[in-house]
Structure 1
Amino acid sequence: MKRFHLLPAGTLVVAGVLALGISLTPAAEVPRYTQVTPPRDSLIACLPIEDGTLFADGAEDLSLDGAEPRPAPFAAQVSEVTTLRGVAPSGGILGEALYSPCQAPATSGFLALPAAGDAELRLTNTDSSDASVDLTLLGPDGEVVGLGARGIALAPGESRPVALSVIAEGVDGPLGVEWHTTRGRVTATGVTTGDISHVAPSAPAADVQVLPGVREGATPTLVLVNPQVDRATVHVDFHSPTGTITPEGGQDISIPPRSVVSVDLSAGTGGEAGAFTVESDLDVVATLYAGGEAQGVGVAATPDVELAGAVPGSSTLQLTNVGSATASVSIALGESTHDLLIEPGATATQAVAEGDLVDVDVTSNQPLVGAAVLPGAIVELSPGSLAEAEPMNAELVPTLR
């Protein structure tokens, strides 16, 4: 049987007064406008074209596929799509002959591919929601219309090939790809059908771009895409070991609207190591192909006074001074250090010691771009200067759920 206890009348009066006071006290006002600091960490996705070694680096510890963060740099054997999360993550997968750089998932991008006849696209969705992608193909004679370029669906975690050679059937020459998602985010990588001879990451469109990684003895070609509705004019400079020149074929390159061209610059570079600067009157896309059966592929790098990366042993480190004065450079290669002077517009090289992975840190008084090169790999160094995350203004909207 339940028992009930009667409270004294005075107790009830006090309780009632307290309740009334609480109900009449206005709620503390929540500020509608405030400032929030965005997260510093980000995610990149790494697509192995063949089983290989993942070289990973970052400003702080990195999480591999969502596991407990570990100190960077590090190497890991991988055979499937892998993600890295942390502050300023970078890296790529080196297979037997080819290098596949990691990329940040995005909603749009471009690819500049050397041949439409054997072109294939690899789309990867590393997010937990569906993604859908539309493609626009650009050939030497303008926009290419083909079936299968719209509404390419990817489930969460899915990676799938797209036969660009079939969509662009009949196109002779290079191929530009302009892609964007109508839902979600993806990474997009260009390869060849059959025996893969190169791995091309997505590239930006810009009016000034610096592409490092022309190794000694290379026969470089630039594939240039003009996604604009007006004709673009492009000028290319080459930063050799002795300074900057305009190579044969690098002057007054005219690209019709919504089209792509391929420019062989091997005669003008003479087999020397170096980097290219591409300048244009409109934003264009530039991708470097180093030549050979297994081609290293490079896209625009970000100049900085600090560079860093995890690179393969026995490669060659190349640094290009894009500043206006002589660069005094200090290089930490694993346990060894090296000091170099690099004249403005020139490229210097430094052998990398043997080993599976070598940690590289570069400091300079002038902005540099850099890459470690092998016959089938251009491993670009990442900017080492990290800006502090600036607080952002935010508005609290009570009606949002």
Structure 2
Amino acid sequence: MNPRRGMPPEPDDPFSNDETDLEKSAIRRGLWLDESQEVVAPRRASRALPDDQDDEPTLSSIDLAPSRRGEPADEADEEPAADLPPAGPAPHSPASTSPDQAPETPAGDDDGSRWRLRVVAATLLGLGAAFGLGAIPAEPAPLAQTIPLITAISRICPAPNGAESTLLAASLEGDIQLRTIGESGTSAEPGWLQLPGRTQPVIISPAVQESGVTGGSLLSSDRQLWWGACRAPLDDQYVQVPGGANADLLIINSESTDALVDVTLSGPDGEIVGDGLRGITIPADSQRVIDLGSFADDVDALGARIRTSLGRVSAVAQIARDDGGDFATSTVQSTGLIIAAVPADASGTVVLLTNPGTSRAVVQIEAVSEAGRYALPGFESVTLDAQRTTAVDLTDAIGGLPVSVVISGRDLIAASAVVTTNGDLGIEPAQVVDESVAANDLVAVVPGPGRLQLANPGDQESLIVIDWGEDQAEATTTASAGTVVSVPIPEGAETVRVTSTAPLSAALLLSAQGRSGFAIAQLEPAARTQASMPVEIDAGLGG
């Protein structure tokens, strides 16, 4: 007769004399418990067990246990069993029963049978749980957490070297924090700010944590109008001017540590070298002025690349000539650039192109006009020699139309436009062609009268809403794909905000009221700071 499952073998079993080992093996399999103890279902297998739980059943031990019944346990697995209950039948219970006769067992044995069945059932449930762990769905991810980000975007506003300017600035919300370079004090100013008599660069920041600021420096004389936009500091940027004559490069370090700067100059014939251009240390919270005329007085196109190996700086040039003057704020290199606005009836439009690479670059120049977008005749393929800044005259090709100029190619270049009208010149740095959502919301302060020109270089029509600020009526217009539109600046407007259904580029074309003078003030994306942002934490990445 085969031994019953969970019972010791018959006396004629060759292993019946090894009852002690069988008892220990049965105990290790969890098939016997003290009659006075409650049966506890086995715990679900965990990924790792502490060292003091090595004897807990595992998947492999459960699978192999039936084939070892009746075999002696390995000596290495033996443990002291003095305090454990006996595994065999009680002394007064028969070792076996015939099928026709029910055993006469005490009540304790009936209880033992019941808990044996429970143990077997619990073991099977444990097996099912072990094999079904992969089917258990992952716990839901925790609620979104927040990661702190920057709390403010600061802008550095230039001041002319040797003259006075008026600072114009506006915040998207709340007041403006202002500090002058070289001074430690910070003042709180209203959200619309107009401060004349500035001779030193200033730093502006939003007082409201999740706001932003925009602005610039305005210089007006009898015959000239200058506009220098407030810009964030960078570690790599370009400033381009129509030659070095009567031009100064202003490098502003607004940070609390020194900046280490290299300036690379390039003209039509290649790189222009000279003492004092490499390894320039600009002390914290100070400005350095470099006379560009001492390096390139006789060229008609000059590009300056300003790179830092330590810190960040803001760079701007100023040109003061009898035939026109202006600030030249910085631009960056890209494979797709756009000059936002060239006014109607401009007497001259020259684009300065800098190729900083070591090989020739080829670009295409297009116009976005009121009639559509097209390649400018004669400029479908323009070759730019390596490490040179080239002046490309587009005056005749544009033909006096109000346009936006798009420059595209396979290599990185930098570009700015020098536009002459109303007896003065305006220098407009190119912007990266931007198809992001941020470009659908543009802002600027309004330094004076003139026109707002908007370019839609994309392939979708754009519905445009123009907010001219407090006490001004909103204006709406539509720009078809690949076209420009122009609207007059209403009298008394101090700020402008443009919202559109497609990315735009835009600029204010400024004129001096009642006298000569011209300047260009670009609109920029309404970049707001964000104190924190929601981040979904993946539960599978761990805590």
Q: TM-score, normalised by structure 1?
A: 0.82
Q: Do structure 1's residue 191 and structure 2's residue 321 form an aligned pair?
A: no
Whole-angstrom CA distance in 2 between matches of 1:236 and 1:263? 10
Q: CA deviation at 1:288?
A: 1.2
Q: Given residue 219 of structure 2, which amino acid in structure 1 is its aligned partner? A: G
Range that drifts further, 366-375 or 67-76: 67-76
For 1:297, the equivalent position in structure 2 comes to: 427
Structure 2 unaligned regions, length at least 5: 1-144, 180-184, 512-517, 537-543
**1: CA distance between counterparts of 2:426 and 2:442?**
20
User: What secondary structure, in the 3-state scheme, does the structure 2 residue paired with 1:95 have?
Assistant: strand
Counterparts in 2 of 1:392 and 1:221: CA distance versus 1, 3 Å: farther
Identity %: 27
Change (3 A) 1:144 1:68: closer
After TM superposition, the structure 1 stretch with the greater mean CA deviation from structure 2, 293-302 or 203-212, is 293-302
Deviations 1:224-256 (A, max 9, x none): 000011111111111122221222443211101
Larger RCO: Structure 1 or Structure 2 (Cα < 8 Å, ≥ 6 residues apart)? 1
Distance 1:358 1:153, change over 3 A: same
Report the AA paired with residue 167 of structure 2: L
Does the C-alpha gap of structure 1 residues 108 and 78 become closer, same or farther in structure 2, counting only changes over 3 Å? farther
Deviation at 1:344, TM superposition (A): 1.0
TM-score, with normalisation over the residues of structure 2?
Answer: 0.62
Q: Shift of residue 193 of structure 1?
A: 5.7
2:491 corresponds, among 354, 373, 388, to 354
Contact 2:151 2:529 (8 Å CA) reproduced: no
Greater Cα radius of gyration, structure 1 or 2: 2
Instruction: Give me the whole-angstrom Cα distance separating, in 1, the residues matched to 2:146 and 2:191.
Output: 31
Instruction: Please give the secondary structure, in 2, of the residue aligned with 1:367.
Output: coil
Over aligned residues, Cα RMSD in angstroms? 2.4
CA distances 1:353-385 after superposition (whole Å, capped 9, x unpaired) = 223x52212121111111111143211112136
Amino acid in the other structure paired with 2:507: A
Q: 1:203, 1:126 → 2: CA distance?
A: 19
Matched residue, 1:380:
522
Question: Which residue of 177, 182, 189 corresponds with 1:63?
Answer: 177
SS at match of 2:502: strand
Q: Quote the residue 1:83 is aligned against.
A: 203
How far off its partner does 1:153 sit? Answer: 2.8
Q: What is the identity, as a one-letter code, of the residue corresponding to 1:53? A: T
AA aligned opposite 2:286? E
Aligned pairs, number: 358
1:102 corresponds to? 230
The aligned runs of 1:146-185 (5 Å cut-off) are 146-168=274-296, 172-185=299-312
Go from structure 1 to structure 2 and tell me whether the alpha carbon gap of 1:172 and 1:154 turns closer, same or farther (over 3 Å shift): same
CA positional deviation for 1:198: 2.2
Query: What is the CA-CA distance between 1:182 and the residue it aligns to?
Result: 3.3
Distance 1:392 1:276 in 2: 40
- Structure 1: distance between partners of 2:233 and 2:534: 24
Cα 1:194–1:297 shift into 2, 3 Å: closer
Aligned to 2:164: 51
State the alpha-carbon separation in 1 of the partners of residues 165 and 299 from structure 2.
33
Unaligned runs of 5+ in 1: 1-33, 394-401
Cα separation, partners in 2 of 1:95 and 1:192, compared to 1, 3 Å: closer
Rounded to whole Å, the distance in 1 between the matches of 2:506 and 2:445 is 12
User: 1:42 aligns to what?
Assistant: 153
Inter-partner Cα distance in structure 1 for 2:529 and 2:154:
18
How many angstroms does 1:74 deviate by? 3.2
Alignment match, 1:145: 273
Where is the helix percentage greater, Structure 1 or Structure 2? 2
Tell me the secondary structure at the aligned position of residue 271 of structure 1: coil
Contact 2:355 2:412 in 1 (8 A): yes
Contact 2:169 2:214 in 1 (8 A): yes
1:317-346 deviations in Å (ceiling 9; x for gaps) = 111112322211111223111111111111
